[in-house]
């Protein structure tokens, strides 16, 4: 199973959600496009998982500046080409983390969500709850539906808001897979704890 992890925006919690999913499935991890090399997401995931089965695959594009991929690539005089983003070879589950939100541009024509469309990947959407997040989440859900991308489930990140979650899940038509609280510290033990919860949720879903 290959799962694409996307979000309603930058800093929504994709990397933490990806690490929890990787640990729950003992899956491989891949970030196709990394923008910003000082602290990479694959390094973060590696530092948060405990299992010895996961393989962290190298990025298709590793860009220096922590900006939108199209802008970071332009600064380096390169173009991110969708055709050159190829799934790594593995017989394991693969968790694929997008960059930013679903409509972050890779270049002048393609967006992050086009990676999921290219490989017909089932998607998990991370939504962090804040004032305005219902709008941002529903817009993301509607765009996924418009493109025919299958939404496997939603992970809510941050302080719970039951009213917001109810409206979002009603529109999404998919389950809430996990609720991540506002943790004072995120480490391997925290990730392992959430991975146990997520594993139980995933048992009831066809993988």
Work out the number of other CB atoms within 10 angstroms of the CB of residue 179: 16
Report how far residue 104's alpha carbon sits from residue 16's, in angstroms, rounded to the nearest whole number. Answer: 19
CB 104 within 8 A of CB 68: yes
Q: Which of 14, 26, 31, 150 is catalytic?
A: 31
Tokens coding 38: 């000082």
Known catalytic residue at 152: no
At 161, give phi and psi (nearest 5°).
Answer: -140, 90
Q: At what angle do helices 14-25 and 41-48 cross, to 10 degrees?
A: 40
Active site residues: 31
């Amino acid at each position: 199973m290959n799962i694409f992890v996307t979000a309603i925006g930058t800093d929504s919690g994709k990397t933490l959600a990806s690490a929890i999913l990787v640990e729950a499935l003992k899956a491989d991890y891949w970030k196709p496009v990394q923008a910003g090399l000082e602290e990479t997401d694959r390094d973060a995931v590696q530092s948060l998982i405990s299992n010895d089965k996961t393989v962290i695959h190298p990025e298709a594009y590793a860009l220096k500046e922590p900006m939108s991929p199209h802008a970071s690539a332009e600064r380096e005089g390169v173009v991110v080409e969708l055709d050159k983003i190829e799934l790594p070879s593995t017989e394991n589950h693969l968790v694929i983390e997008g960059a930013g939100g679903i409509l972050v541009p890779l270049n002048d024509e393609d967006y992050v969500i086009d990676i999921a469309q290219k490989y017909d990947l089932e998607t998990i959407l991370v939504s962090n709850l804040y004032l305005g997040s219902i709008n941002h989440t529903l817009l993301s859900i509607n765009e996924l539906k418009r493109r025919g991308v299958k939404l496997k489930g939603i992970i809510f990140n941050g302080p719970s808001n039951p009213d917001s979650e109810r409206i979002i899940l009603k529109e999404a038509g998919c389950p809430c897979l996990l609720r991540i609280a506002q943790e004072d510290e995120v480490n391997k033990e925290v990730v392992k704890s959430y991975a146990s919860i997520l594993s139980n949720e995933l048992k009831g879903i066809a993988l």
